[in-house]
Amino acid sequence: MLNYTGMDLFVRDNQFWLLRFLQKKLNLHCHHDAQDLSQDTFIRALTSSIDLFEVKEPRAYLATIANRLIIDKARRKRIEQAYLEAQLESSQEYAPSCEEVHEMIQKLEALSRLLEGLADKPRRAFLMARLDGLKYQEIAQELNISVSMVQKYIAQTLLHCHSQLLD
**DSSP code for 54:** G
In percent, the amount of the chain with pLDDT more than 90 equals: 16
Residue 89's CB: how many other CB atoms inside 10 A? 8
Cα–Cα distance measured from residue 53 to residue 58, given in angstroms and rounded to the nearest whole number: 9
Q: How confident is the model at residue 151 (pLDDT cuts 50, 70, 90)?
A: very high
Q: How confident is the model at residue 116 (pLDDT cuts 50, 70, 90)?
A: confident
> Angle CA(30)–CA(35)–CA(39) in degrees, nearest 5?
160
The domains of the chain, with CATH numbers, are 1-114 (no CATH), 117-167 (1.10.10)
Residues 66/37, Cβ–Cβ less than 8 Å:
yes
pLDDT > 90? residue 71: no
Least Cα distance to 4 among 37, 36, 46 occurs for 46
Give this prediction's pTM: 0.56
SS3 29: coil
